[in-house]
Structure 1
Amino acid sequence: MSDSRREVLRRRYLSLGLGELVAAAVFAGIAFGVVMPKLDTYQDSAALWAALVPLLVILVQAGTYWLLARGWVERAPMPVPLAALYRGFRYLDAGLLLVGLLGVLVWLPDHVVAAIAVVAVWLFGVVEYVNYFVVRLAYPIRSWAHTIGQWRTPRLVHDINTAR
Structure 2
Amino acid sequence: MVLRRMRTLAVLELANVIIISVALLAVFRMPPTVSNLTGLVLVAAFLVEGGVYWWLKARQLVTRAPAPAGMATFRLLRRVNVVLLAAGAVVIAADSVASGMGVRSWPGVALWVFAVLEYVNYFHVQLMHDTRADLARLFTRGLHRSHLARDLTARR
TM-score relative to the length of structure 2: 0.82
Contact 1:77 1:159 in 2 (8 A): no
The residue that corresponds to 2:114 in the other structure is 124
* DSSP 3-state at the match of 1:76: coil
1:69 deviates by 1.1
Q: Matches of 2:150 and 2:30 in 1, distance apart?
A: 42
SS in 2 for 1:153: coil
From 123, 138, 143, the equivalent of 1:147 is: 138
Query: In structure 2, do the counterparts of structure 1 residues 14 and 95 end up closer, same or farther at CA, with 3 Å as the change threshold?
Result: same
Deviations 1:36-78 (A, max 9, x none): x663xxxx62111221211111100100110121111282222
Q: Could you report, residue by residue, the CA deviation over 1:71-111 in whole angstroms, capped at 9, with x for unpaired residues?
A: 1128222256x110000111111111111111110112547
Relative to structure 1, is the Cα distance of residues 104 and 89 closer, same or farther in structure 2, using a 3 angstrom cutoff? Answer: same
Distance of 2:116 and 2:110 partners within structure 1: 10
Write the mapping of 1:14-25 to structure 2, written as runs, cut at 5 A: 14-25=7-18
Q: Paired residue for 2:19? A: 26
The SS at the match of 1:72 is helix
In the TM superposition, structure 1's runs of 4+ consecutive aligned residues that sit over 6 Å from their partners are none
Identity %: 28
Q: Give the conservation status (yes or no) of the 8 Å contact 1:135–1:151.
A: yes
| Cα deviation digits, residues 8-32 of structure 1 (max 9, x gap) | 1110001111110011112233355
1:77 is matched with which residue: 59, 62, 66?
66
Q: CA RMSD in A?
A: 2.6
Give 1:43-58 correspondences, 5 Å limit. 45-58=33-46
Identify the residue that residue 151 of structure 2 maps to in structure 1. Answer: 159
Partners of 2:57 and 2:68 within 8 A in 1: no
Query: Matched residue pairs, number?
Result: 151
Distance 2:17 2:111 in 1: 12
